[in-house]
Amino acid sequence: MKQGEENQSDVICIGGGLGSLVAAALLAKEGLRVIVLEKNKQIGGALQSFGFMKQRFETAVHYIGSLAPGQTLHQLYHYLGILDQLSLKKMDESCFDRLVIAGETYRMAQGYKAFIDELCLSFPDERQNLERFIDEIKYVCEHFPLYNMRLGDGGSKMKVSYDGLRQKLDEITNNEKLKQVLTATNMLYAGDYEDTPFYLYALITNSYIESSWKFGEGSARLAKALQEVIEHAGGGVLRNQEVVRIKEENGMIHFAETKTGEQFRAKHFISGIHPQYTYAMLESQMVRPVTRRRIEATPNTISSFMVNLVLMPETIPYTNQNLYYHEREDVWYDYKNPQSEFDPSSIAAFFYEDKMNPGYASAVSLLSVMDISHMGKWASTLRTTSYPQSRGEGYQEEKELLAGRMIDKMDSVIPGLKDSIRGMDCCSPLSYRDYLNTPDGSLYGFRKNVNDQANTTYATHTKIPNLFLTGQNINMHGILGVSITAILTAAELCGLENLVNKIRAAS
C-alpha cells in the first residue's frame, strides 16, 4: 500500500475486533477496498493472546463452538479461506465442560444424544425433559436463519424472542437442581437468570453442544488470518490509530479522525466498537438526543477477574475440557449478590497442555465475574501496550490478594494447584476496559433483556445512510454471534442473498 492510499477507501472500519475484521474480509472478497483502524498495537479485540513467562494465554476466547464441517462457523471460515490457519483442536467429546456444583460433578458432552445420555446418569428420571430441552433449543435455532447459514424472513426470530431463560426452563422441568446444571456455564453470557432471553442462551448453548474446539496456537491466529484476507485484496489494517471523531455533513459521514488529527475518508463507515463510544464521538444532528440518551443508559454485562497461572512441569494433569466450579447450589449467586468484598462463589478454569510433557498442563486460567467497582481506587488509570505506565500504588498487591482467594477455592477441585504455581499474572476489569475498549470492562457489551428488547437490541444500520454497526453489542456476542452479525453488516453493502449463497456454495 502506498503512503496516503489509506485515505482513499470504499470502507473504513473503526476498531479492529472480530466484527470489524470479518465484515472487512467479506467486503474485501467482494472487491471493495477496506481499511481497518485499530487503537491498540494488537488487533482482534477479544481474540488477543499474550505471553507471560514464555506461556501463551488467551485474553477472553478459551473455546469456540460450531466449527465441525457443515456447521455455521466452518462454512464461513471455509469461504474466507482461513480454516487451515486456525490450528483447531476438538475438545473431549464425552465431556467438554465439567461442572462441580456444591461438591457434585456433572459432565456436558458434545452431540445431542450424548448430551442427554450423560446428564441422565445424574438425572435418570429427567430423560423426557432433557429431550424436550434439546428440542426447544433446536427449535429456537431453526428460527434464526443466518445461524444456519440460510435466508429467511426477518419475522422468524421474533416468534422465539419473548421467552425468558428462567421462564422457559420452568416450563421444561420442575427439577431445580437440573436447572442449575443447565445454566452452570452462565459466564458465557453473564446475564440475569430472570431477564436473559432464552434465545440468547439457546444459540450459545447449542453451538457448543454441536461441537466444541480450542485454538491450538491461540485465538490471535483468527485475527491474523482475517487481516491477511483484507490485505491480499488490497486493503489494510492499521494499528495505533485511535479514532476520536466521526463527522457527518449533509446527511453522510465524511471522515473519521484519529487522535493524531489524521482524517480517513471513505464511501461507507462501519463501527465495530461499543455503540456508547461510537455515538459519543459522532458529530451529527441526525441523531436525536433521545437516541443518544437511550444508548448511554443501556446496561452492560458485568466484567471479570482472571488469574493466569504458569505451572511447574508435570504437576497438574491436563484434561481436554473446561471446569466450572460453583461453591453453592445456586450457580447465579454472584450475579444476585454483589459483594463489597470480592469473594467469588463461581470460578471457571481453562487449561493449556504442556507440549513438552503431554498429559500435563503447562498453565491454567481462572475466571470469575467482577464488577469494576472493586477496582474503583484505580479507575482513572490507563494501561495498555501503547500506554505501559503503572496503575499506581497498591494495585498489584490488591490483584494478588484477590487471586489468592480464587486459588484457595480451586485447590479443592484441582488438587495440588497451590503448590504447583511457578508464576502468576492477573487481569482485572480495568485490563478488559483498556485493552478491549468496553465500558467498565464489560464482558459482552450490552446486556440483553427479554423484558426490554427495544432498548437493549440494536440494528446494523443507523439513521445515517453510510454508517453501519457491527460487533458483540449488535445482535449477539461470542465468536459465532459476532461472526453472524458481521455477515449482516457486510450485507448492508453487498446483499445478504449474495453473501449467503456464496458462503454455502463454497461448502
Across 205-214, average pLDDT: 97
The secondary element (H helix, E strand) that includes residue 134 is helix 127-142
Tell me whether residue 98 is in a domain: no
Quote the CA–CA distance of 104 and 93 in Å, as a whole number.
Answer: 21
Give the Å distances, CA to CA, from 423 to 55, 61, 309, 350, 408: 10, 21, 6, 16, 16
* Burial of 54 from C-beta contacts in 10 A (0-12 / 13-18 / 19+): exposed
Quote the CA–CA distance of 369 and 304 in Å, as a whole number.
Answer: 4
Give the Å distances, CA to CA, from 271 to 35, 360, 395, 455: 12, 42, 33, 19
**Mean pLDDT of the chain, nearest integer:** 94
**What residues pair up with 183 in beta bridges, in sequence order?**
none
Question: What is the phi/psi pair of residue 300, to 5°?
Answer: -105, 160
pLDDT in tens, 145-184: 999 999 987 778 888 889 999 999 999 999 999 999 999 9
Q: Which pLDDT value is given to residue 384?
A: 85
Tell me whether residue 283 is in a domain: yes
Q: Judge if 270 and 314 occupy the same domain.
A: no
Tell me whether residue 92 is in a domain: no
Across 266-286, average pLDDT: 97
Q: Judge if 117 and 58 occupy the same domain.
A: no
Quote the CA–CA distance of 351 and 382 in Å, as a whole number.
Answer: 29
Tell me whether residue 26 is in a domain: yes
Quick one: pLDDT band at residue 338, thresholds 50, 70, 90?
confident
Instruction: Assess whether pLDDT exceeds 90 at residue 390.
Output: no
The secondary element (H helix, E strand) that includes residue 76 is helix 72-79
Q: Is the Cβ–Cβ distance between 316 and 420 less than 8 Å?
A: yes
Q: Judge if 208 and 223 occupy the same domain.
A: no
Tell me whether residue 248 is in a domain: yes
Quote the CA–CA distance of 490 and 79 in Å, as a whole number.
Answer: 14
pLDDT in tens, 288-298: 999 999 999 99
Among 178, 213, 248, the domain boundary falls at 213
Buried b (16+ CB within 10 A) or exposed e, 147-167: bebeeeeeeebeebbebbbbe
Q: Is the Cβ–Cβ distance between 455 and 294 less than 8 Å?
A: yes
- Range in 188-202, 375-389, 431-445 the model is least confident about: 375-389
Cell numbers that stand for 272 in this block: 465495530
Q: Judge if 375 and 313 occupy the same domain.
A: yes
Q: Judge if 262 and 363 occupy the same domain.
A: no
Q: What angle is formed at CA 294 by the lines to CA 291 and CA 296, rounded to 5 degrees?
A: 110
CATH number, domain containing residue 143 = 1.10.405
Instruction: Assess whether pLDDT exceeds 90 at residue 79.
Output: yes
Q: Is the Cβ–Cβ distance between 337 and 343 less than 8 Å?
A: no
User: Cell numbers 470502507 correspond to what residue?
Assistant: 11
In this prediction, what percent of the chain has a pLDDT beyond 90? 88
Cell numbers that stand for 295 in this block: 444508548
Q: Which pLDDT value is given to residue 219?
A: 95
Question: What is the phi/psi pair of residue 11, to 5°?
Answer: -140, 135
Quote the CA–CA distance of 131 and 113 in Å, as a whole number.
Answer: 9
Instruction: Assess whether pLDDT exceeds 80 at residue 339.
Output: no
417: CB partners within 8 A, 6+ apart: 309, 316, 364, 407, 410, 411
Among 185, 213, 241, the domain boundary falls at 213
Which residues span the domain enclosing 311?
302-441
Give the Å distances, CA to CA, from 25 to 32, 81, 285, 449: 10, 10, 31, 31
Nearest to 347 by CA among 362, 363, 365: 365
Q: Judge if 436 and 343 occupy the same domain.
A: yes
Q: Judge if 78 and 222 occupy the same domain.
A: yes
Q: Judge if 288 and 229 occupy the same domain.
A: yes
pLDDT in tens, 1-19: 443 444 579 999 999 999 9
Q: In this structure, what DSSP letter does residue 91 have?
A: P
pTM: predicted TM-score of the whole model, two decimal places: 0.95
Q: Which pLDDT value is given to residue 278?
A: 97
Q: Judge if 235 and 311 occupy the same domain.
A: no
Among 389, 409, 441, the domain boundary falls at 441
CATH number, domain containing residue 455 = 3.50.50.60
SS3 call for 282: strand
pLDDT in tens, 235-266: 999 999 999 999 999 999 999 999 999 999 99
- Range in 316-325, 350-359, 388-397, 423-432 the model is least confident about: 388-397
SS3 call for 194: coil
CA 306 to chain centre: 15
Q: Judge if 391 and 409 occupy the same domain.
A: yes
Tell me whether residue 93 is in a domain: no
Tell me whether residue 458 is in a domain: yes
Q: Which pLDDT value is given to residue 6?
A: 47
Q: Judge if 72 and 58 occupy the same domain.
A: yes
Top pLDDT among 190 and 348 is at: 348
Quote the CA–CA distance of 1 and 503 in Å, as a whole number.
Answer: 28
Q: Where are the beta strands (DSSP E) in 250-382?
A: 252-258, 263-264, 266-271, 282-283, 303-311, 322-326, 346-353, 361-370
pLDDT in tens, 323-333: 999 999 999 99
Number of domains in the chain: 3
Tell me whether residue 101 is in a domain: no
Nearest to 14 by CA among 207, 316, 337, 263: 263
Q: Judge if 220 and 206 occupy the same domain.
A: no
Q: Which pLDDT value is given to residue 497?
A: 96
306: CB partners within 8 A, 6+ apart: 365, 366, 367, 426, 427
